[in-house]
Amino acid sequence: GAWMVSGSKPAGAAARAGTPAMGEATTAAPSISWDSHKYVDTVPDSLVRDDDLSGANMDMRRRFEANCRRAQNAITKAVAELDGTEFIEDVWTREGGGGGISRVLKDGNVFEKAGCSLSVVYGSMPQDALASATTRGADRAKGYAPGERVPFFACGLS
């Protein structure tokens, strides 16, 4: 799928350099549970947080999300027309920002099961993950205190 990430690749995308040895202290990642997802009846205009960074970053994030939504609409429309079966849509948001639009086609005439999901994700990652993610990552991580987690934004369609 297409992903736009500000700060890092998705977790687990590549092995990190500098992983702590057994017994060394690590900074715990915040706990995320399915309880933090709230299903909603109406699709919001955008899943990008209203209080997100102003200026170019916010505009880029909103435009990328809009492009992913257009692609999701085109893909699911084409598959539904080919199959003759409609997709079932679930929309959810997260309290900390972001959310998703999941569309699933089940027991179709052509496809047993098909899906197309949009995700907008906010989170934080260790500094070494940012440093290894991009060539600019090491420079961008310099402004954080040792052990401080780095915020990230990701948007993608799968």
**Residue with token string 């052509």:** 110
- The segments of the chain whose pLDDT lies below 70 read 1-36, 52-56, 136-139
What does pTM read for this prediction?
Answer: 0.70
| Confidence at residue 108, expressed as pLDDT on a 0 to 100 scale | 98
- Domain assignment present for residue 152? The answer is yes
7-18 per-position pLDDT tens digit? 433 333 333 334
- Domain assignment present for residue 44? The answer is yes
| Confidence at residue 24, expressed as pLDDT on a 0 to 100 scale | 44
| Confidence at residue 115, expressed as pLDDT on a 0 to 100 scale | 98
C-alpha separations of 77 from 23, 35, 105 in Å: 52, 31, 11
- Domain assignment present for residue 109? The answer is yes
- Domain assignment present for residue 123? The answer is yes
| Confidence at residue 117, expressed as pLDDT on a 0 to 100 scale | 98
Spatial distance between the Cα atoms of 124 and 7, rounded to a whole number of angstroms = 9
**What's the structural domain count of the chain?**
1
- Domain assignment present for residue 68? The answer is yes
| Confidence at residue 147, expressed as pLDDT on a 0 to 100 scale | 85
- Domain assignment present for residue 21? The answer is no
- Domain assignment present for residue 45? The answer is yes
Domain that holds residue 136: 2-6+39-157
| Confidence at residue 26, expressed as pLDDT on a 0 to 100 scale | 42
- Domain assignment present for residue 140? The answer is yes
68-88 per-position pLDDT tens digit? 999 999 999 999 999 999 999
